[in-house]
A and B are shown apart, each in its own frame.
Chain A
Amino acid sequence: MNEEKKTQKHENFEPKIVGFLCNWCSYAGADLAGTSRIQYPPNIRIIRVMCSGSVDSMYILRALLDGADGVFVGGCHPGDCHYIDGNYKARRRMVLLENILNTLGLEKERVWMRWISASEGQKFADTMREMTEAIRKLGPNPIAKHWDL
């Protein structure tokens, strides 16, 4: 009952998602989704980066502190990194970041890391749909109303 109510409340809520996509795989994957005219929710604001390994957790934290409801980090599949091991290091950083999110009282499910290759336009669209729905269920970022940070 409670769960139902919660879902209902968030039905009209459109999550704001900030996405960091690596130049070599995920960004090209997103591009392919576009050129293939695959429809997906427009909730993500894409920022192209050279490698998922170049995304300092600070950028993710800044997005969340400024009120983003979710952050998406997309990289090449493990073993496929253009810079050999950037995505492996990004993965470790994500584990470390969970500690900080926990301190902030934020659900770790607000930050997603997924491996999407340049040929996986469909996977990118599916992931966006999945993430948008998951964040919609979580509800708005509680930090969004805090201006005293």
Chain B
Amino acid sequence: MTQKVLKIKDNDVGGSLNDFLKHLLSSGKIQTLLVQQTLPSKKIAFPVLVSDPKKLHADVLAPILPVSTATIISKMTKVQSPTRPIGVVMRACQIRALVELVKLNQASLTNIVIIGVDCPGTFPLNTYVDFPEKKSPTHFLLDSFTQKTDDAEKYFRSACRVCKDPIPTNADLVIGIYGTDIQKEILIEAHTEIGRELIKEAPLDEEKDEKAREKAVKEIREAKEQKRTTFLKEKEGNRGIERIAEFFEKCVNCHNCQQACPICYCKECLFDSAVFDAEGYKYQRRTEVKGLMKMPNDALLFQLGRMNHMILSCVECGLCEQACPNNIPLMDVFIPVAENAQKEFAYNPGKEKTEKIPMIVYREDEFLEVGEK
């Protein structure tokens, strides 16, 4: 690993990061850059694909995740990999999702240069747009981050509050904000040969103290782990048919969560397919089983079916929850189930690129208690 330092000019963190990305883009080592940029309305930042360095006004640290960047890369690489390198600036959860999509044959990493960025957390889309504080969301977050206060915590998306790991793994380059004073400098780490090549001629200083970063990363991971443990304990009671029926009762079966989920990749979801088209008399007969039936029917079946299909690869990005029009706190149920299921198969989604997803492999001598008792 090579670690370098990006000096912050004029107290402008965003501007200095933008200059660095501009350098990468104009160096020709990457032809296109996928990065977050504030839209002309100034209200919201979205991922943009940039080829012209002059038009790049990246807003890397804007605390928002409007859509899954992993899904975008899947779209761009599934038909054919790009012929020249694309740099993609991604948060840790999205890199995990991308790795899962690669394993599912839904994306390719050929000519994709992953630039990971330490994530302090993101705000829900609507909170970001109508931010209640005087400062802009980005400034508010950075101030809270540098002063190490919990001010921003209350605005975070619930998935971010119990984030599994905010530090990117499997990235070629990492933009590090933990373990440094971001008012003065930001860390740039190259984890692969591609990353090293990319920053060879970049205007960066040599790092003197790698230990500080290591310590900070360890600390933040431990703190997050602790929060997660508390969260899992709190949500332990989210089971049983009474509780689950009540939990999902606001579900209108719109399937927004499935659209937003980076892992749900099926071209046509089973739940949108003709399997669920039935003749009128079948509805009548199904109703007769219990005497009455809540409509639209199969809303809970959709939630449980989706859970069953994606839970082993769930990277806990929380985009499903953000997409829910009725604010169902999906993570409260999904994270505990994901935790148990992934533990059972000793699987950590997004960690190892070469590992196979558990549902396509098997061992002859496993789970012998299932099948014969």
Contact B359 A92 (CB under 8 A): yes
Chain A residues with CB below 8 A from B366, complex form: 91-92
How many A-B contacts at CB < 8 Å in the complex?
119
Which residue of A is nearest B344, CB measured?
A95
The complex places the Cα of A40 from the Cα of B242 at a distance, in Å, of 35
Across the two chains, which residue of chain A brings its CB closest to B275?
Answer: A58
Kindly list chain B residues whose C-beta atoms are within 8 Å of the C-beta of A65: 300-301, 304
Q: Determine whether B274 belongs to the interface, using a CB cutoff of 8 Å to chain A.
A: no
The count of residues in chain B whose C-beta lies closer than 8 Å to any C-beta of chain A is 45
Inter-chain CA distance A145–B359, complex, in Å, is 33
Cβ contact within 8 Å between A147 and B293 = yes
Complex CA–CA separation, A58 to B270 (angstroms): 10
| Distance of A148 Cα from B290 Cα, bound (Å) | 10
Distance, CA A67 to CA B359, complexed state (A):
28
Main secondary structure of the interface of B (DSSP, over half): helix
Q: Is the beta-carbon distance between A100 and B307 smaller than 8 angstroms?
A: yes
* Most A Cβ at <10 Å: residue of B241, B300, B333: B241
On chain A, the residues within 8 Å of B291 by CB distance are: 147
Instruction: Report whether over half of chain A's contact residues are helix, strand or loop; otherwise say mixed.
Output: helix
Q: 3 closest pairs, A vs B, by CB? A: A105-B240, A88-B362, A58-B305
Q: Please give the residue numbers on chain A whose beta carbons come within 8 Å of chain B beta carbons, in ascending order.
A: 56-58, 61-62, 65-67, 75, 78-79, 85, 87-89, 91-97, 99-100, 102-106, 113-115, 142-149
Q: A62-B301, A149-B294, A149-B301 are in contact. List 16 more A-B contacts (CB 8 A).
A: A66-B289, A85-B362, A89-B360, A92-B366, A96-B308, A97-B308, A99-B337, A100-B304, A100-B308, A102-B239, A103-B238, A105-B241, A106-B241, A148-B245, A148-B249, A149-B245
Interface residue ranges, B against A (CB under 8 Å): 238-245, 249, 270, 286, 289-294, 298-301, 304-305, 307-309, 311-312, 333, 336-337, 340-341, 344-345, 358-360, 362, 364, 366-367, 370-372
